[in-house]
Structure 1
């Protein structure tokens, strides 16, 4: 679920907030980094649990309307397609997933049920919902396509939900696109006979990714003086105050990665930090960062300092 780029963003955020020196005790900030990454999984679980709660809300709605004193024939015998949606049932009845909810204390919607109502009402008012109820047959594919559309068009872009998540955890705003993309991929790929673990992806692709996060954080922090000196060498015509703080941090991380991660191609490193700068810094930052990292890479290569393993890694 977690990409290397998102790991780099997490490291950048903690380093930027920390702004410590090589002599500082950074164990607390390393824990904060890992907790921030781990908390991304809670967001993933929270978004999945929201869909389950919306289904429960729909069932409760049908039950209440059917018991009205002057209920219409349609209200007494309502269309139960949404309530009986096979994908939502799969989520609701997944014991491993429910255990994860309990283990990670995912119970937000018990206290903040108004957001469940917001999503439910938007679904009821949507053309997606009306077209779904009008379909003649109910198949697993029909149910799956409906849930994919609901998540993509109603849940993921919901502004009230966005504001709620921002209030709960500031870092969730950066995590949300990755989480939503993961959920959409899993929804699109789910099959009727899917494993119970289909909706329980790993946070890290492998152990190397977690080690990458820790090493990049430590190496950048512990070598800040030397990394800053490398940047200064290539910006002699720049007033240090003119270099955006985010750009300086991204440059130090990029140089650290070029120097300390022999298995990562330099082109990959430079491209990753260019893309991050486009999202988090100024419009001209990517050009500036590309120029500095490119010059340093060529210099290291000429001097024999570019220690890369494997072909095509220069």
Structure 2
């Protein structure tokens, strides 16, 4: 699920677009904000579909091993252990996951070659290291650790996959961290017989936070602009970068209108975002 920081990033982007005149209607900008946040879930579903492709790859590897003249029992046992872990089983049996893929048309199509290339590279490295042929039984917890390592080393930082995502949506470069975090949560929390998908928001408060912060920041922008001008004795307001103005508006709005958020958080979060952007 998304953190408040991810939501703040989306609000910052929406404010930037609104202040730059991409839309003069705050309701249209709010709709774009909500769609932008929802698109993170689409990216998350693509990440899960990637693991579904890896499940098929493992099934193919298992059949190849079985049909060898001298099959390696330890290797087959490891592949079977990976295929039987709760997360991988749910990928092929959870009707909610399948329905979400169908609803949002989540397919890799002719770009599945990007995945298979990454799969083969990682697989060959594991064979060379001897990990696949170890004799000890692969426990479920160790299988989860291995799958997370596969994800981190082979997929999460794969530039070819990132380029494909950016072809689908120019905003996904900023959204990838959030979607990948959700994917890791899904791997870790998978339980047999339970729904696999994680929620986009932790609760109703988080779900409402982004829209509320955006609208209140827009409404109070003239007041914050005058306040900043009155306090900024060493420089002119107009010399602030547009992103800095957005972050200042957000911080002031949070401190005044979101009493449940600690002041320290409302100050520190924009500072961290300023370092990033």
TM-score > 0.5, shorter chain as reference: yes
From 194, 197, 205, give the equivalent of 1:196: 194
Cα shift readout 1:271-296 (whole Å, capped 9, x = no counterpart): 1111111111xxxxxxxxxxxxxxxx
Equivalent residue, structure 2, for 1:308: none
Equivalent residue, structure 2, for 1:300: none
Of the two, which has the highest radius of gyration?
Answer: 1
Contact 1:220 1:252 in 2 (8 A): yes
In the alignment, the residues of structure 2 paired with residue 174 and residue 195 of structure 1 have an alpha-carbon distance, to the nearest angstrom, of: 33
Equivalent residue, structure 2, for 1:231: 228
From 239, 259, 264, give the equivalent of 1:262: 259
In the alignment, the residues of structure 2 paired with residue 47 and residue 232 of structure 1 have an alpha-carbon distance, to the nearest angstrom, of: 45
Map residues 43-54 of structure 1 onto 2, 5 A cutoff.
43-54=43-54
Map residues 127-142 of structure 1 onto 2, 5 A cutoff.
127=126, 130-142=130-142
The alignment's C-alpha RMSD in Å is: 2.6
In the alignment, the residues of structure 2 paired with residue 278 and residue 256 of structure 1 have an alpha-carbon distance, to the nearest angstrom, of: 20
Contact 1:152 1:184 in 2 (8 A): no
Map residues 25-64 of structure 1 onto 2, 5 A cutoff.
25-60=25-60, 63=63
Equivalent residue, structure 2, for 1:125: 124
1:216 is the counterpart of 2:213: yes
Q: CA deviation at 1:215?
A: 1.1
Name the TM-score, length of structure 1 as normaliser: 0.77
Matched residue count: 271
Map residues 1-314 of structure 1 onto 2, 5 A cutoff.
1-19=1-19, 24-60=24-60, 63=63, 72-74=69-71, 79=76, 81-82=78-79, 85-87=83-85, 88-107=88-107, 109-127=108-126, 130-191=130-191, 194-197=192-195, 199-280=196-277
In the alignment, the residues of structure 1 paired with residue 147 and residue 211 of structure 2 have an alpha-carbon distance, to the nearest angstrom, of: 37
Contact 1:11 1:33 in 2 (8 A): yes
Instruction: Extract unaligned runs of 5+ from structure 1.
Output: 281-314
Greater helix fraction, Structure 1 or Structure 2: 2
Contact 1:46 1:106 in 2 (8 A): yes
Distance 1:137 1:271, change over 3 A: same
In the alignment, the residues of structure 2 paired with residue 165 and residue 149 of structure 1 have an alpha-carbon distance, to the nearest angstrom, of: 21
Q: CA deviation at 1:185?
A: 3.2
Distance 1:158 1:80, change over 3 A: farther
Q: CA deviation at 1:268?
A: 1.3
In the alignment, the residues of structure 1 paired with residue 60 and residue 132 of structure 2 have an alpha-carbon distance, to the nearest angstrom, of: 19
Instruction: Extract unaligned runs of 5+ from structure 2.
Output: none
Name the TM-score, length of structure 2 as normaliser: 0.86
